[in-house]
Amino acid sequence: MSTVDMNTGAAPTGGAGPRRRGSVVPPVSGCVLLTLVLFALFAPFLAPHPANAPIGVPYAMPGDVGVLGTDYLGRDLLSRILAGGRSLVLVAAACTFTAGLLGTALGLMAGYRRGLVDAVIMRVVDLLLILPPLVVLLVLTSGAERGPRMLIPVIMISASPYVARVVRTATLDVARSSYVEAAVLRGEKARAILVREILPNVAGPVLAITGLLMIYAIFVVASASFLGVGIQPPAADWSLMIKEGMPAITLNAWPVIFPAACIVVLAVAVNIFAEGLHRRIAGGRAGRRGA
Amino acid sequence: MGRAVTAFLARRLTTSVVMLFALSVVVFAAIEVLPGDAAIYAIAGQNPTAELLEQTRHQLGLDRSAPERYFSWLLGILRGDFGQSALTGQSVSGVVGDRVGNTVALGSLTILFMIPLALALGVFGGTREGRRADRTTSALILAVVAVPEFVLAAALTALFSFGLHWLPATSLFPTEDSPLLHPEVLVLPVLTLVLFSASGASRQVRAGVADVMRSRYVEMARLKGLPERRVVLRHVIPNSIAPSLQILASSIGVVTGGSVIVETVFSYPGLGSALATAVTTRDFPLVEGVVMLLATTLLLAYTAADLAVLLLTPKLRTTS
Amino acid sequence: MSTPLVVEGLRVADHAGRVIVEDVSFSIAAGQSVGIVGESGSGKTTMALALLGWARNGVRLVAGSVQVSGVELVGRPEEAVRKARGRLVSYVPQAPAAALNPSMRVGRQVAETVVGLSPDERAERVRQTFELVELPSDAEFQRRYPHELSGGQQQRVGLAMALVNRPRVLVLDEPTTGLDVITQEAVLAEVDRLRAELAIAVVSISHDLALVAKHTERVIVMHNGRMVEQGDSHTVLANPEHPYTRSLVAAVVDHRAAAESRVADGTRPESGTAARERPPLLSVRDLHAGHGTRRGRVVAAEGITFELRAGECLAVVGQSGSGKTTIARSVVGLHQPDRGSILLDGAPLASRADRRSRDQLRRVQYVFQDPFASLNPRRTVLDSVVRPLGVFKGVRGAEAEDQARRLLDRVRLRPELADAFPGELSGGECQRVAIARALAAAPDLLVCDEITSALDVSVQSSVLDLVNELRRDLGLALLFISHDLGVVSTVAEHVLVLERGQCREFGPVHDVLGTPGHEYTRRLVAAAPSLSAALVRAVPAAPGPGAADITEVLQ
């Protein structure tokens, strides 16, 4: 489940060669991503039909009824596709934000305070990392209410350990550096040191891991909805559409193929963007030091 | 060397036991203490009578205090009794026993194909970092790795079942049979899992290999005039194998998580689909039992992988 | 036999077209030794690698020719060049620890280099080569992994690997930078012996003029990728002609020369009599400190006692691991000693910096070893200096910026750099900022931890001049940590020689370094490279085959 490899934080490093390429990728993929997100948010207004109203026979082939055909209840596939990205994108963005914030805070504390605070935080993190993220998600949702709002805290808990670990490593590194020691020797307060000296210098790793977090959030939100613990029917949602279309896939695969293609495009765009971001940060650091 | 290994195993097994114990608290708390009455209504229906409510409460053990319930559950586990499914009344060990073989078959077949594939792709890309061949394979792998398993599974099913009519879309076979007797039902689940886990692992193997390729000792091996083949075989691969092992071990976790999805997609009768069903039906004893079993298996797998790393890395092996 | 190495018109550039090495030509005769000197960025490592027909990623051998025993290495197919590497010309890298395969036994790493011998002959050859470089040649030693060897042994394995095919040319790239002086001297003496014994042509890349003067017959001075001067080592270094060489030679700090001149003109006698009467500014009494590691405690200081008066400079010298940095960090409060006391003006200092008063913190300032790591990369230079002004003196706003600019001017930093970020500065400039930052606190004592070890020679000498000047003008006391006897002798009056946490000798610099009393100090002084000593000792040879080669090639 977590091929979204937040385990190392340092996902595939870019080559030495494609540095020039790497600098083009983030802006371009960023624009693609932004377009996709805007599309997901505003496309529902373009829908020709209400997303939840039957318009014809179920399982109509593309072109027979509506442009893309109908789903198992005879609802317009095109309208549902246009509406089906919004909650995924919104929930994933909220998860990225909250998990990033919590993970960064925990990582900073663990890395700077060390000692007991570090030990406690890291043991909890280790504990959450034993199980695959999706299983953690299932455990946390099994007793709770279901729905997109519940997903946000649940994913915040299951994803922040990965962020915390990366941020902690970066913080440990920065905290050992001479400029932080110089601040200690000025008698500066811990808060001032964290804000002035450490935070600006772990911003790179935080940004890089946030990219991975975006991938992870889309992944988990989509999978959770598919498993029935995320976005709930009758909402129009790409994952749910796949789930609903699977039983009749040998009859008509289009209700599955269209939403699947949407998720693929979104996921690949996020991935390329995150990798470009990561490479740029890694490359930028190396370049700066070499100069 | 023997001492280092024994010490390592002793340390790791102790921490594993402690972790499992802590995990049991967390799992129990998350499932049974935090939520409200969702479970009761799930079983008793939306508008239950007071009597039915009370009965369900008792049936779920909710009339006892949380610590009391926890300790009786824990003692049960230690005796090998995971309790009964809240839904079917079947013993959890029974449900697990029926299905564990199927999941093991699925998982081991996946790993059997995944490891060589991930290593081959990783070494191929890592030794050609930045060249056209590497960029092409990397892009393809990125496209696969980005996609959630269920989407991948859906796409493969659309292709092989709907488009080509080669394979069944669901993995149905007689419960008493081993899935190995029905290879056609295994193809799509295994293919999905292999593609997914191998693409992720190969990216990390590639990064590790590329790192070693940039090292000073590989440059030195070339400056000694060794042929490129020997440089890769003797200098690059041995030094990237240990980190790769850890990556492959963590992909056991990936496969485990993936099996939940893939078994659900294909209605494959394994532990993963049992877990997913148990969660949607709020069958807490079954969820807890399966989760603890998974955690134990994974901790053992990670320990085994770290042990292999220890044995394969001279520096770790010789300095205890 | 053909000339072992002939280089003509060599030019190396990166893919962006920036030239790294330009128009280099020279040649070497068998058994001859050539030193290539230059500061960081002079292109000397790129050139060393080019001598094996090798260019790192992103770099290309553009033009010219490198011929080893008549075999051309530039512009030939990789396979042809590969066959020459390790056989005709071999390479000993800068950091042996990183250049040895960590998961291959050292015997095998040497053996796999051997070409064209039967397995028995090969084993015999490896054994002989280990003996040649004075390593144990038994099977047990050969079965070790690199991490089980000391730094000196690792470098010897590097040498063995380079020599096992008995090449005609040996390229040494700063082969002793990571080693302590005593090991360094031993390894270089070894190379000299092997060169004579096997009649190998040796090219040594180095930044250390003293080593070049002592161990090479000819020298090539590189600057910005070009050869600016070449010739007989002693002639060039004793009477440099090119302005750049002259500045390099002038920048060398030499413990012997300094000790002698000081004895001769008898400067700074004040530290002797009147000064002794004053109460000490800093006194360290019976300091014990160490580091807890997994394998137990490593001692870094054992019963160290010394006093330092206002305006004085005490140097603590020792090799890496001797505990000198730990002592400095204990004084400033970054390391907690096990026992002993540290007093400032007679008042005990808390062992941790965060328990000391603002004023105590202000009076003792620390300058760190790594100039790049000592400044916050996300703050401008001005910011870094303004901060302590605010913290220690409550000076803020425009007034603080004004004072900071004056301080930057005081350490001779170009004013336009005030708004730069540390990443845009050179090592020497960063170190100046760090000094300005320390001065902002108006301290009484400056603790300098190896502040020049990361700097090039010419930059080092200007930073040392600055330190001396500040001392004189501001009456600062200095606790000066260094491994370099030359540096120590130019700044300090007193020196404390440290070995494994213990004080071996303590006294005035010229006494201790001039006439060492302790056995360890004697070894340290003998091994420390000294340009003046090397130039005095060696009698410049009459123009030999080497000089002839040069003229030949240049014409």
pLDDT digits (tens, 9 = 90+) for C488-517: 888 899 999 998 888 999 999 888 888 888
CB-based burial, C111-139: b 16+ in 10 Å, e otherwise:
bbbbeeeeeeebbebbbebbebbbbebee
- Residues B50, B29: Cα–Cα separation, whole Å: 26
Interface of C with B (CB under 8 A): 49, 52, 54, 56-57, 82-87, 90-91, 93, 95, 98-104, 112-113, 115, 145, 147-148, 161
Q: What letter represents residue C269's amino acid?
A: P
Angle, CA of A123, C298 and C453, to the nearest 5° = 100
Query: What Rg value do the Cα atoms of chain C yield, rounded?
Result: 26
Q: Are C262 and C510 in contact (CB under 8 A)?
A: yes
The three-class DSSP label of residue C26 is strand
Angle, CA of C151, C156 and C162, to the nearest 5° = 130
- Please list every residue in chain A whose beta carbon sits closer than 8 Å to the beta carbon of residue C376: 179, 196-197, 200-201
**pLDDT class of C383 with cuts at 50, 70, 90:** very high
Angle, CA of B36, B41 and B42, to the nearest 5° = 105
Q: What is the pLDDT of residue B312?
A: 80
Q: What is the reported pTM?
A: 0.80
**pLDDT class of C480 with cuts at 50, 70, 90:** very high
Residue C215 scores a pLDDT above 70: yes
Q: Are A100 and A163 in contact (CB under 8 A)?
A: yes
Average pLDDT over residues B144-167: 84
Q: What is the pLDDT of residue A291?
A: 29
Of the listed ranges A258-262, B80-84, B131-135, C89-93, the least confidently predicted one is B80-84
Check CB contact under 8 Å for B315 and C95.
no
Q: DSSP letters of A177-211?
A: SHHHHHHHHTT--HHHIIIIIIHHHHHHHHHHHHH
- Residues A79, A70: Cα–Cα separation, whole Å: 10
| Minimum-distance CB partner of B257 among A15, A134, A140 | A134
- Residues C61, C53: Cα–Cα separation, whole Å: 8
- Residues C310, C431: Cα–Cα separation, whole Å: 23
Residue C231 scores a pLDDT above 70: yes
Number of neighbours of residue C432 by Cβ within 10 angstroms: 26
**pLDDT class of C457 with cuts at 50, 70, 90:** confident
Handedness of CA A100, A105, A110, A111 (dihedral sign): positive
| Chains sharing 3 or more CB pairs under 8 A with chain C | A, B
Check CB contact under 8 Å for C145 and B216.
no
Using CA atoms, how far residue C184 sits from A29, C174, C187, C211, in Å, is 53, 11, 5, 10
A256: tokens are 């599955």
Residue C551 scores a pLDDT above 90: no
Handedness of CA B297, B303, B307, B313 (dihedral sign): positive
Q: Are C404 and C324 in contact (CB under 8 A)?
A: no
C430: tokens are 């960063």
| Minimum-distance CB partner of A184 among C353, C437, C441 | C353
**pLDDT class of C24 with cuts at 50, 70, 90:** very high
Residue C261 scores a pLDDT above 80: no
| Minimum-distance CB partner of C353 among A178, A185, A196 | A185
B232: tokens are 């890769």
Residue C49, Cβ density class (10 Å: 0-12 exposed, 13-18 middle, ≥19 buried): buried
The alpha-carbon gap from C504 to the nearest alpha carbon of chain B, in Å, equals 32
Q: Are C312 and C491 in contact (CB under 8 A)?
A: no
Q: What is the pLDDT of residue B1?
A: 52
Residue C144, Cβ density class (10 Å: 0-12 exposed, 13-18 middle, ≥19 buried): middle
**pLDDT class of C300 with cuts at 50, 70, 90:** confident
First to last CA, chain B: 7
Q: H or E stretch including A95?
A: helix A86-113
- Please list every residue in chain C whose beta carbon sits closer than 8 Å to the beta carbon of residue B234: 101, 104, 112
Smallest Cα–Cα separation from C93: which of C10, C204, C194, C13? C204
| Minimum-distance CB partner of B314 among C91, C98, C103 | C103
Q: What is the pLDDT of residue C184?
A: 84
- Residues B110, B126: Cα–Cα separation, whole Å: 23
**Sequence-separated (6 or more) residues with CB below 8 Å from residue B133:** B124, B125
Q: DSSP letters of B25-65?
A: HHHHIIIIISS-SHHHHHHH-SS--HHHHHHHHHHTTTTS-
Please indicate if any CB of chain C lies within 8 Å of the CB of A63: no
Angle, CA of C343, C346 and C347, to the nearest 5° = 65
- Residues B31, B38: Cα–Cα separation, whole Å: 11
pLDDT tens, residue by residue, C53-86: 999 888 899 999 999 998 999 988 988 899 999 8
The torsion angles phi and psi of B222, rounded to 5 degrees, stand at -70, -40
Minimal-distance CA residue of chain B relative to C164: B224
Number of neighbours of residue C280 by Cβ within 10 angstroms: 18
Handedness of CA C255, C261, C264, C268 (dihedral sign): negative
C530: tokens are 């000294």
Q: What is the pLDDT of residue C271?
A: 47
Q: What is the pLDDT of residue B116?
A: 92
- Residues A67, A63: Cα–Cα separation, whole Å: 5
A288: tokens are 């700066």
B27: tokens are 């799992």
pLDDT tens, residue by residue, C92-125: 988 778 899 998 999 999 999 998 888 999 999 9
| Minimum-distance CB partner of C112 among B223, B234, B312 | B234
- Pairs of CB atoms within 8 A across A/C: 60
Sheet of C33-37: strands edge to edge? C89-92, C169-173, C201-206, C33-37, C218-223, C226-232
Residue B95 scores a pLDDT above 80: yes
B60: tokens are 């779920």
Smallest Cα–Cα separation from C220: which of C493, C506, C436, C10? C10
- Please list every residue in chain B whose beta carbon sits closer than 8 Å to the beta carbon of residue C93: 216, 219-220, 223
| Bond preceding residue A234 cis, omega within 30 of 0 | yes
Q: What is the pLDDT of residue A21?
A: 42
**Sequence-separated (6 or more) residues with CB below 8 Å from residue B77:** B24, B292
pLDDT tens, residue by residue, C132-178: 888 898 899 999 999 888 888 898 899 999 999 999 999 999 887 77
Minimal-distance CA residue of chain B relative to C93: B220
- Please list every residue in chain B whose beta carbon sits closer than 8 Å to the beta carbon of residue A18: 130, 135
Q: H or E stretch including B233?
A: none
Check CB contact under 8 Å for B210 and A13.
yes
Residue numbers of chain A with a pLDDT score lower than 50: 1-22, 284-291
The alpha-carbon gap from B192 to the nearest alpha carbon of chain C, in Å, equals 36
Residue C188 scores a pLDDT above 70: yes
Q: What is the pLDDT of residue A255?
A: 86
Please indicate if any CB of chain C lies within 8 Å of the CB of B224: yes
Q: What is the pLDDT of residue B319?
A: 55
**Sequence-separated (6 or more) residues with CB below 8 Å from residue B156:** B188, B191, B192
- Please list every residue in chain B whose beta carbon sits closer than 8 Å to the beta carbon of residue C102: 217, 239, 314-315
Q: What is the pLDDT of residue C285?
A: 93
Q: What letter represents residue A242's amino acid?
A: I
Smallest Cα–Cα separation from B246: which of B287, B292, B307? B307
The alpha-carbon gap from A160 to the nearest alpha carbon of chain C, in Å, equals 26
